A and B are shown apart, each in its own frame.
Chain A
Amino acid sequence: MPYLAPEIILTALAIVLLLLEAYGAISARSVGIWSLVGIAVAIVVTLFTEVGAEPMYFWTDPNAAEGTAGKGLYMWDATARFYKLFFLGTTGLVIWMSMESAAQPVGPKTQPIRAEFYILPLFVAAGMCLLASAADFMVLFVSLELVTITFYILVAYQRESATALEAGVKYLILGGLATAFLVMGIAYVAGFAGTTSFAGIIAKYNTPDHLPVAVALGLLMILVGFGFKIASVPFHLWAPDVYQGAPTPITAFLSVGSKAAGFIVLVRVLNEAFGPTAYATWGPALTAIAGCSLVLGNFAAMHQRNIKRMLAYSGVGHSGFILMAVLSGGVPDGPGIAQAGMTAVAVYLATYFLASLTAFLVITIVSPTPEEESIRSYNGLWQRSPLLAAALAASLISLAGIPPFAGFVGKLGAFVVALQFHHYGLFFIAAISAVAGLYYYLGVVKAMFWSEPLEVTPIQVSVPTQVLLTILIFLLIATGLCMEVFAWLVR
């Protein structure tokens, strides 16, 4: 099986669908169905591509530096496969949500969903899959921008609505700023190292000395670029506005897919391109970022009245928890990031994937218009649709990190890593933030079950979505009870 298969399948399918739809051969809804089929094929192909014990590299550079021969642009290992499956699953669920919201009545200012709304996520998925395999700053940059620029379009998709355009413009300006920092950082790192490949850079700088000042500066600039993608303080300013203004399926995509894309490149660069000595540069910076994200994200979420804004701030908090797991480097002669840290990041993201996408699926159904996104609209949801209320409750409790739900496993992993690597201050801050998180998550749960609804009309849910929601609830509990699932997934 060719290793580039998932990316090629997605891109080719997207191009064919684009042409077929433009020439009127196929309806928007069937484009959505075909996109789901393509994603399913890509998932199967990825699952059945074997993983060796050592990372495998493709497109090698014949002029590579001494000792790095055979390490090229594209890398295939267990981590790449796990994140590819993660991104494909996210995209599939997002397209499902889009089809769900297409089936709902449209407001006067909203456009009906067109075929491009299903096709663009395919390009995003292809870019994210490529990111998971990037072994070179050039591939990293191009695939990251494929993801980001497509997101600019998706965020501002409802172009008759002022809020969507405002969200799009804000995302573009801050995203462009992050891109500029990323490129400048890459220029310094690659320029002084004389190569863009991760293997070449680590071969040059994995010495007992500290990093040269210019390279350290470049690394910090790269971290600014990634900090934007993962929405961590102080690069989170776009998140609340963009999450609120974007169509709900795209908000879900940003909150899960884009965040995970930021984390995979972050751990890849810190692990593959820089060794343990670089920890002296990025360790303190990321510790500060993680602490600020934890506090600001969780405490700002308490005061939100719009559920998408609340989840945006809580997402900033979750970035803080995941960064706590990333901060596991600096062991002399060890890897850039310890295996325990890599596993904790992957497990946290997997639990976040389940919980967050379930929550957004419910929000897509309950809040078809911006007016219905206020948390008050969720009062008494239990009386209107028990299944939706149960699903949202399960996902929110999981996000809060209460056993036996999946989120608990993720949080546990992050806390264990923090203790293992002696980040006691961060551990303390994270514990307080987690308790603050309980307040706003459980506030919504309480309102759903014990408040009187604003309106009593029951909400209809289509049968396939009912099945999907049931599966998601089951997974949220099952993975929380049986942690070995994650060990198998990451293997």
Chain B
Amino acid sequence: MNADYLPVLLQLIVAIGFAVGSLAAAQALGKRGRDSAAKHIAYECGKDPIGPTQPRFSVKFYMVAMLFILFDIEVVFMYTWAVVFKEQLQYGLTIVVSMFSFIGILFVGYLYVLKKGALDWTHVKKIERAPVVAPQKA
């Protein structure tokens, strides 16, 4: 019985060997440590770069991107639901209600995001904070 699964073990050994081997190869073949200050200056009549080389993006783009990922990924559950719901309709409305409760929860998340101003590109600073609670201790 164990012999059937021996290939998996072999593959793991190959996998570890591959990872270690490629790292070792990168270390051996790569030209690490051979760069000098001279290599970083502009070549001949090239212009010196102005300002930082990596322009900074505003944080609000990250926010929108993250929210997009979160809401976008939920669609995968709708695909599976769409595939089976017709056959499952015979079991009553459970199948419809389950998807609508799922969408309802997502919608609550959307309302929360909207109200907290995360989608408001023009007034990012308006994200509300609770007022400082007055210390009750003497």
Q: Which of A23, A111, A212, A460 has the most CB of B within 10 A?
A: A212
Q: Hey, what's the 0/1 contact readout for A205-232 against B, CB within 8 Å counting as 1? A: 0000110111101000000000000000
Cβ contact of A103, chosen from B9, B12, B130, B137, cutoff 8 A = B137
**Dominant SS at the A interface?**
loop
Tell me whether A104 is interfacial, beta carbon within 8 Å. Answer: yes
- Please give the distance in Å from A106's CB to the nearest CB on chain B: 7
Q: Is the CB of B8 within 8 A of A114?
A: no
Q: Beyond A15-B108, A212-B4, is A113–B12 a contact (Cβ under 8 Å)?
A: no
Cβ contact of B9, chosen from A28, A105, A213, A460, cutoff 8 A = A213
Contacts of A113 in B (CB 8 A): 130, 133
Q: Beyond A19-B108, A213-B6, A460-B138, is A112–B116 a contact (Cβ under 8 Å)?
A: no
Tell me whether A102 is interfacial, beta carbon within 8 Å. Answer: yes
Within 8 A of A (CB), among B113-138: 115-116, 129-133, 135-138
Q: Is the CB of A212 within 8 A of B112?
A: no
Interface residues of B (CB under 8 A from A): 1-2, 4-6, 8-9, 12, 105, 108, 111-112, 115-116, 129-133, 135-138
Q: Is the CB of A213 within 8 A of B5?
A: yes
Contacts of B111 in A (CB 8 A): 19, 22
Q: Is the CB of A22 within 8 A of B112?
A: yes
Q: Is the CB of A22 within 8 A of B116?
A: yes
Q: Beyond A19-B112, A22-B112, A213-B6, is A112–B1 a contact (Cβ under 8 Å)?
A: no
Q: Is the CB of B5 within 8 A of A112?
A: no
Q: Is the CB of B136 within 8 A of A114?
A: no
Q: Hey, what's the 0/1 contact readout for A21-56 against B, CB within 8 Å counting as 1? A: 011000111000000000000000000000000000
Q: Is the CB of B108 within 8 A of A105?
A: no
Cα distance, A210 to B5, chains bound together (Å): 12
Q: Beyond A112-B133, A212-B2, is A23–B115 a contact (Cβ under 8 Å)?
A: yes
Tell me whether A237 is interfacial, beta carbon within 8 Å. Answer: no
Q: Could you write out 11 A-B pairs with CB less than 8 Å apart?
A: A15-B105, A19-B108, A103-B137, A106-B132, A112-B131, A192-B5, A212-B4, A213-B6, A214-B9, A460-B137, A462-B136
Contacts of A215 in B (CB 8 A): 5
Cα distance, A112 to B128, chains bound together (Å): 12
Extra 12 A-B pairs, beta carbons < 8 Å, given A22-B112, A462-B136: A18-B108, A19-B111, A22-B111, A28-B133, A102-B133, A106-B132, A114-B130, A192-B5, A212-B4, A213-B8, A214-B9, A215-B5
- Please give the distance in Å from A217's CB to the nearest CB on chain B: 7
Contacts of B135 in A (CB 8 A): 103-106
Q: State how many residues of chain A have any CB contact under 8 Å with chain B.
A: 28
Contacts of A103 in B (CB 8 A): 133, 135-137
Contacts of B8 in A (CB 8 A): 213-214, 217
Q: Is the CB of B129 within 8 A of A212?
A: no
Tell me whether A115 is interfacial, beta carbon within 8 Å. Answer: yes
A105's nearest neighbour on chain B, judged by CB, is B135
Within 8 A of B (CB), among A416-440: none
Contacts of B5 in A (CB 8 A): 192, 212-215
Q: Is the CB of A22 within 8 A of B115?
A: yes
Contacts of A192 in B (CB 8 A): 5
- Please give the distance in Å from A100's CB to the nearest CB on chain B: 10
Contacts of B112 in A (CB 8 A): 18-19, 22
B115's nearest neighbour on chain A, judged by CB, is A22
Cα distance, A10 to B111, chains bound together (Å): 20
- Please give the distance in Å from A193's CB to the nearest CB on chain B: 13
Cα distance, A114 to B105, chains bound together (Å): 22
